[in-house]
Amino acid sequence: METIIIGVLLSASVVGLTFIIERGLALRAAKVMPPAVQGALETCRTAEDLPMLRRICQQHPSPLGRLLLLADKNRSWTKADNANALETSARREISRLERGLVVLEIVVGIAPLLGLVGTIYGLIELFASMGLAGLGDNGMMASGIAVALRSTLLGLITAIPSLVAWSYYTKKVESMAVEMAALCTSFIIAKIPPTRLTPLRIGAPDPLCDSPPPSAGSLRRSLSCR
């Protein structure tokens, strides 16, 4: 029984350490919000800058880049509709970022319980040995106490790093979500027109309105041809 408890605790510690390292690599700021994408967003002021923003977002696949591409795709929509579509996609991106955190949460919950199971088992062995051999067998007593303390220690060693990592990564995902929301909102309210029209200069001749009226001779020639 002691071997089973220790083996399960060691397996939980390996799983927790694996997801701590994996989430640490996946939640890097440069991977979620690449500086190149943020720089392109800051310099995007007119419709002529949009192809550059699209190209950089495609070259640096990231949650922020995918959200900006979606916002640019729906740029002709109303701001409310664009924001609703962006919010739905943002929830999907946040769900991807939180992938694996539930495993750390499970490890945090079960590791102390497994340690407690080991503690109870050690105490049961201790009192069982005391009932069979009496108080004179110090070796059996020390063995039971060692099993209880070893399981408790291993459970705490497994749970504490997982708890710290889970709390840190959860707050990091929340802060990244707020920052990405601010960047996407600034892009939506930038009011970049879908197309750029050449303005008509006041006083410039209009080819439709300012053309000279037809002469009488041209009218007669046109009527005679009919």
Within its chain, how far is the Cα of 172 from the centroid? 9
- Tally of domains in the chain: 1
Residue 221 lies in a domain: no
Residue 63 lies in a domain: yes
Residue 154 lies in a domain: yes
Specify the pLDDT at position 56.
Answer: 92
pLDDT single digits (tens) 89-120: 999 999 999 988 999 999 999 999 988 888 88
The token pair that represents 159 in the structure block: 């749970």
pLDDT single digits (tens) 112-169: 998 888 888 888 877 777 766 665 666 767 777 877 788 888 899 999 999 999 999 9
Residue 157 lies in a domain: yes
Residue 61 lies in a domain: yes
Q: How many CA atoms lie within 13 A of 118 on its CB side?
A: 28
Average pLDDT value over all residues in the chain: 80
Task: State yes or no: pLDDT of 214 exceeds 80.
Answer: no
Range of the domain at 115: 2-188
Residue 199 lies in a domain: no
Residue 10 lies in a domain: yes
User: CA-CA distance, 1 to 76, in Å (whole number)?
Assistant: 66
Task: Compute the average pLDDT of residues 71-99.
Answer: 87
Confidence class for position 208, pLDDT limits 50, 70, 90: very low
Specify the pLDDT at position 132.
Answer: 67
Angle between helix 79-97 and helix 138-188 axes, rounded to 10 deg: 160
User: CA-CA distance, 86 to 184, in Å (whole number)?
Assistant: 8
Residue 205 lies in a domain: no
Nearest to 5 by CA among 153, 140, 104: 153
State the alpha helices, DSSP H only, in the chain: 2-26, 29-32, 35-43, 50-59, 63-73, 79-97, 101-133, 138-188, 216-225
Residue the block writes with tokens 């009527």: 223
The token pair that represents 78 in the structure block: 């109303």
DSSP 9-26: HHHHHHHHHHHHHHHHHH
User: CA-CA distance, 34 to 60, in Å (whole number)?
Assistant: 7
pLDDT single digits (tens) 9-30: 899 999 999 999 999 999 998 9
